[in-house]
Chains A and B, each alone.
Chain A
Amino acid sequence: MGKIRRLVLDVLKPQQPSVIDLSNYLSDLDGVDGVEIELIEMDVNVESVKITIAGHEINYEEVEKIINENGGTIHSIDGVSCGKKLVREED
């Protein structure tokens, strides 16, 4: 079965814990090499973010667990890359 190499998630989360803390928790996961969180929209109490996770073997369940534990909800999986090679649009 293919290994998840890249994951792009649309997440709604409370403002605390901050995106810095959330990115630290996600980057500590086994198989994750890097995390990028981009703020899309901010409300009084919550914020909508785009989380991009890159790694050699990302465990989706673990990612979901960390996001949920920190109060977030995954609204959608906007992109996923699996397998030995990352496929780009131009390919």
Chain B
Amino acid sequence: MTTTRKPVSERSAAFEYLTTKKDELVGWARKFSLFPYPFVTACCGMEFMSVSSTPYDTDRFGAALPRFTPRQSDLLMVVGTISHKQAPVLKRVYEQMCEPKWVMAFGVCATSGGFYQNYAALPGIDKIIPVDIYIPGCPPRPEMVIDGIMRLQERIAGQRHPIINQDF
């Protein structure tokens, strides 16, 4: 979310104050209403099931309800190895999501390809789409995923959230 803003000299202090307060409010609202799209391809899916169901329960973070269409979701969770053959599908899914959107690379395979360095595996999804949060581990513990979600929430809370135009 890199939008260019007017130089500070052209903006009034009241406008600046209002914008900041608006960003805080919208960020607070958005960070607790993540709608994940689980792009689950491999064994990390087991940890995804664990972290999203009762014992760990991502519902506590407002990220419980998976939407199985990218058009209704704002958090793309890429869970597992992405092969070169699958890369066009992932790219299409990412492009179908509406702004604002965030991407989580869940596990080492999505982060960097992990131990796959061969003809088949994509060496990290950041080669084709931008990634906001990386969670290492093979597979990551549910605690690590929760930590990742909380860090992503911090980032969302601290971001600018233009909702009317790029200045407000």
Physical interaction between A and B: no
Interface, chain A (partner B; CB < 8 A): none
Measuring CB to CB, which residues of chain B are less than 8 angstroms from any residue of chain A?
A: none
